[in-house]
Structure 1
Amino acid sequence: MKSTRENLGNIVYSCYTQVNRQGEHFVSDHVLSYQISGDLTLNDGVNQYSAYDGSIRFLRRNQLLKFTKQPPADGEFKSLSIYLDQQILKDFSLEYDLISEKKNYNKPLSLIEDNLQLKAYMESLLIYQLSGQLSDQRLVELKIKEVLILLLQYDPELKDILFDFNEPGKLDIEAFMNKNYHFNVNLDRFAYLTGRSLATFKRDFEKVFGITPGKWLLQKRLQEAHYLLEKGKAASDIYLDLGFEDLSHFSFTFKKLYGLSPSKIISA
């Protein structure tokens, strides 16, 4: 599979010629992405979102997403992404005296449509990238300032998202885990996103579920796998979606719990 991922600090150019399922992704920074060609499907555990040629999307930080990159027929999947890390945003907020006031935004992403200014900006950024000029950090810093100004002109309420520097608050651990158990991330990520230290997360988890997080996650994923296999799904189609890293590990752990291989469940 031919693939290219050029990381220019806060600006990343991606190119793939085959379907790329990267599974889980912890979005640690706000991201603005331009879909140059191909389709991107994102899933937050409840809803599915699609991005198409020419679309611009804004991803909120501190969330879990699954994504699939689909190149066009006989073509390449291409995207250009700007990572807006906390230090960049803190510096910008100090320079322009911007403060977050409301804390009620919970959408994982927004599609920005029909905005000629942001579309022109992304096209200009692509020209800089293809010509190699984004190796100059001074230019990168200017272009990031420019896009922040354009974003705030497009939607002034983004100020309350971009410049909210608070860490996640304490969440209902049972509801959160039942929604996100299929994301294959470390326990410290789950702990952080529920507003807890790792030690507190493990203690609270066992109070709620009666077993350790590791055991519960494995059982929950295998139970869902059993249900999907009975519905006629193939093991090769579900193991990634359920948080397993490879098919052989999934098959081994499934057989260990149920005494049958996944293929036997399908044929039963």
Structure 2
Amino acid sequence: MMKTQAQLNILYSCVDEKKRGNEQFVPEHALGCILSGESHFLTAKGTQVYGAGTIGLVRRNQLVKSLKVPPPGGQFKSINIFLDQDTLRQYSAENHIEATGHYTGVPMLQLSLDPFLKGYFDSLLPYFDHPEGLTSTLSELKTREAIELLLRFDYNLKDFLFDFSEPYKIDLEAFMIQNYVYNVPISQFARLTGRSLATFKRDFQKTFGSPPQKWLQQKRLEEAHFLIAKRKQKPSNVYLEVGFENLSHFSAAFKQQFGYNPSSLQTV
């Protein structure tokens, strides 16, 4: 069972079984606290595991796969506050705080030892028993409070929060080979490589000799074949890992590509 309550940009999650995150693209900065259980985050740099009590800040425009893991006999619980660009721009202008340049640090920061941030998340808990109390005005105030506390924790986070630049043009081949398993629209891949959709498709064809969708499916199927045949993983565990949305579509595409069902590899 999964229970989620959202009040504008503040999200409370409660899960009593392992649950994969639905979204694999982080469009806005997110400040989060794990109340119980663990969060597993898979990025291009590997998997990171965070336990109860972890407070973290995730940068926007990131590709991330997440897994929520409840503790034995308990529930996974977390709170996330999304710091949207409009609110950050307004705060930046009103307080005359600007980034000194493009942010080049790590995309996921741990802030777990700060007592003020812990107290901030504690102050949000009553609203999830009484969500009607978290009005739009209060939600806006709590968002601004989060920004204040982050700058209090480390004023240099202004470069993280107030860098409003969009992704610049990067090496398309290296990026796609590293990130093809993320199930996001082609338009998101284009944005993250600093290209318009039309330019992305043109550059992709020139680089890989194939349209993006065709290349992505073939690459994902090849990885799935390897995981099932060599790593002895089950098809039901593999299809999400390589970027397919459902098992039936994966199985049909696999058979069309290789001429046999993925389950037949388990008997080889």
Which AA in structure 1 matches 2:222? Answer: Q
Deviations 1:75-113 (A, max 9, x none): 211111100000100010011101111324242211212
Partner of 2:265: 265
Deviation at 1:24, TM superposition (A): 4.5
Counterpart AA for 1:262: P
Separation in 1, partners of 2:94, 2:199? 37
Q: Is the 8 A contact 2:12 2:79 kept in 1?
A: yes
CA distance in 2 between counterparts of 1:57 and 1:165 reads 20
Does 2:185 match 1:186? yes
Amino acid at match of 1:131: H
Q: Does 1:243 align with 2:243?
A: yes
TM-score normalised according to structure 2 size: 0.95
Matched, 1:153 2:152: yes
Which residue of the partner structure matches residue 140 of structure 1?
Answer: 139
Contact kept in structure 1, 2:220 and 2:243, CA below 8 Å: yes
Match of 1:98 in 2: 97
Contact 1:8–1:134 (8 Å) recurs in 2: no
CA apart distance, 1:221: 0.6
User: What do you get for the CA RMSD once the two structures are aligned?
Assistant: 1.4
The amino acid across from 1:42 in the alignment is F
Other structure's SS at 2:195 match: coil
Q: Which residue of 2 aligns with 1:210?
A: 209
User: 2:41 is aligned with what amino acid?
Assistant: L
Q: Is contact 1:134-1:140 (8 Å) kept? A: no
- 1:185-230: CA deviations, max 9, x gaps? 1101111111111111000000000111011001101111111112
Matched with 2:25 is 26
- Supply the distance in 2 between the matched residues of 1:83 and 1:20 (Cα, whole angstroms): 20
Residue by residue over 1:111-168, the C-alpha shift from the partner in whole angstroms, topping out at 9 and shown as x without a partner, is 2121111111110122244333643222222221111111111122210010011111
SS of structure 1 residue aligned to 2:25: strand
User: Runs of 4+ in structure 1 displaced over 4 angstroms?
Assistant: none
For residue 40 of structure 2, what is the amino acid of its counterpart?
A: T
Equivalence for 1:8: 7
Q: Which amino acid aligns with 2:245?
A: E
Unaligned 5+ runs, structure 2: none
What is the CA–CA distance in structure 1 between the aligned matches of 2:176 and 2:8, rounded to whole Å? 33
CA shift, 1:265, in A, is 2.1
The residue type paired with residue 256 of structure 1 is Q
- Structure 1 gaps of 5+ residues are none
Deviates more, 1:83-92 or 1:255-264: 255-264
Question: Are residues 1:222 and 2:217 paired?
Answer: no
Match of 1:256 in 2: 256
Question: In 2, distance between residues paired with 1:23 and 1:81?
Answer: 15
Q: How many angstroms apart in 2 are the aligned matches of 1:267 and 1:129?
A: 49
Query: Secondary structure at the residue paired with 1:195?
Result: coil
